[in-house]
Structure 1
Amino acid sequence: MNPLNIDPIIFSIGPVSVRWYGMMYVIGFVIANILLKKLVEKGFYKIEKDKIDSMITTMLICMFLGARFAYVFIYNWDYYSGHIGELFYVWQGGLSFHGALAGLLFGGWYFGRKNGVSWAQVMDATALAGTPGLFFGRMGNFINGELYGRVTDSPFGMVFKTGGPYPRHPSQLYEGFAEGILLTLILWLIMTKVKRHGVIACSFVIGYGFFRYFIEFFREADQQLGYYFGGTTTMGQILCLIMIIGGFAALYLNSKREDPI
């Protein structure tokens, strides 16, 4: 079986290279912009259209900082404690989804407070518009040959150049389908049923945590962390369990709010 061999660089102009990974994020944010405007047109998201660009910029900055800080301080502090000057060397890799989520939560709170929109409403719109981008992000991981799965003899196995000579689960594809496609469909279906803001955002947190937890059984653990609790649980699964518990707790507290929608 030949290893996956997709050039991560689309094209180069002199020293500047355009990579598929970055392009996947651009596509995700373009789609988010379009969907946010659709939500405004539908009256679901009650802000002016001209504030959407400001919202996306705010969320992007907070997401990036959260993703990077979580990777550095939770996933790889043993290395960065001695290389703190490389804190923002993101071209070397190293972003955490769970940290990105924490950044989005803060960004949503900040943007909502600044623009007179409830935090719950901002996060609902973020979940509906942003979840499709998870698919493209995972495709970027797949093209880069990173975040691959565990060794397998299943017919789905693929050889990744950075993963050794043995076939591995293409866990990036599993996550892209579950987190980026299936979860998106679920959230947009829920939108037609809910009677209060916050339910969709909580459903995203629970749904992502659920899908990611089970897909982690097929995904290779982070090399610098390994496994916990007797070699059965990854850091990603621990964080997903926290997400699920937090999502249900937030869903309960949200049901007690006096301003449903």
Structure 2
Amino acid sequence: MFNEITIGPLTLHTYGLMIGLGFLAAYAMCYYRGKKMKMEKSGDILYGIFWCAIIGGLVGTRLLYYIVEIPEIIKDPSILWNFKNGYVVYGGIIGGILVSWLYCRIKKVSFIEYFDLVMPAVALAQGFGRIGCFFAGCCYGKATDSWFGITFTHSDYAPNGVKLIPTQLISSAGDFMICLMLLAYAKRKPKKGRVASLYLMFYGIGRFGVEFLRSDYRGSVGFLSTSQFISIGIVAAGIILYQMLPRIYEDAKKAE
């Protein structure tokens, strides 16, 4: 795949390029929607949340990897400083949300309102990120004889010369679809917190299903992959928050 693009003396890695495009597209979407919804100081707050999501996300992806790989780390401590591999997307989601929540607390703005604003854009960014995975060959699928299978020839991650299910593109399409569904739902002006809660449910369900098609090593909890096990908790959290967040928001408004 096209893992690198060379323009004269400049070489661009498509994985990093797609992640960068995803972040920029997500920020632009949030900024536009925040202004349109006339959210107070949305530009300044979103800029802070943008960096909180990046920092919290990067730390979270690595930290969750350490947690799920404790047995392997005990056997081989060198894993701790091997930064070429070992990043768990769910850690990034959780880390980004927690650091953004702390930031909103410090700035004394409603986290729930920004939670709703940002999560459709998170799905958009993930869609771009998965395209980056496709170019790099990571997060690859199982071997297949189907017409839609793809074959890598120069990947450092996927087995080369084997026809594989394009799980990266399936995940990307699902992420873009989640983004569109959340935007459509947001136009109906639902109770605060429900757009973000639906993201957790939709993404958790989608990730649980795609995991059956993947073949790369992801750890396991019993007969489930680590990500499937976490997906169950994420979906459950989304269902609970769907009911709780509107009440929390209303109570906070009354207390002001």
TM-score (norm. length: structure 1): 0.85
Distance 1:114 1:12, change over 3 A: farther
Distance 1:115 1:88 in 2: 34
Letter in 2 for 1:136: F
- After TM superposition, the structure 1 stretch with the greater mean CA deviation from structure 2, 111-120 or 134-143, is 111-120
Give 3-state SS (helix, strand or coil) of 2:6's partner. strand
Higher helix share: 2
Distance 1:77 1:258, change over 3 A: closer
Aligned to 1:23: 17
Task: Answer yes or no: is the 8 Å Cα contact 1:148–1:160 preserved in 2.
Answer: no
Aligned to 2:80: 87
Q: Does 1:56 align with 2:47?
A: no
Distance 2:182 2:33 in 1: 13
Q: Does 1:111 align with 2:103?
A: yes
Aligned to 2:62: 68
Alignment map for 1:214-253 (pairs within 5 Å): 214-222=209-217, 225=219, 228-229=222-223, 233-253=224-244
Distance 2:124 2:140 in 1: 21
Q: Does 1:8 align with 2:11?
A: no
Distance 1:66 1:137, change over 3 A: same
Distance 1:172 1:45 in 2: 35
Aligned to 2:119: 127
Q: CA deviation at 1:213?
A: 1.1
Length, aligned pairs only: 248
Q: 1:77 aligns with which of 70, 80, 96?
A: 70
Task: Answer yes or no: is the 8 Å Cα contact 1:32–1:129 preserved in 2.
Answer: yes
Q: CA deviation at 1:244?
A: 0.8
Give 3-state SS (helix, strand or coil) of 1:150's partner. coil
Letter in 2 for 1:80: I
Aligned to 2:165: 169
Give 3-state SS (helix, strand or coil) of 1:146's partner. coil
Task: Answer yes or no: is the 8 Å Cα contact 2:192–2:246 preserved in 1.
Answer: no
Distance 1:213 1:56, change over 3 A: same
Q: CA deviation at 1:227?
A: 7.1
- After TM superposition, the structure 1 stretch with the greater mean CA deviation from structure 2, 183-192 or 154-163, is 154-163
Task: Answer yes or no: is the 8 Å Cα contact 2:31–2:42 preserved in 1.
Answer: no
Q: Does 1:141 align with 2:133?
A: yes
Distance 1:257 1:226 in 2: 35
Q: CA deviation at 1:98?
A: 0.8
Letter in 2 for 1:188: L
Give 3-state SS (helix, strand or coil) of 1:156's partner. coil
Distance 1:34 1:245 in 2: 30
RMSD over aligned CA atoms reads: 2.4
Letter in 1 for 2:195: I
Letter in 2 for 1:18: L
Structure 2 gaps, min length 5: none
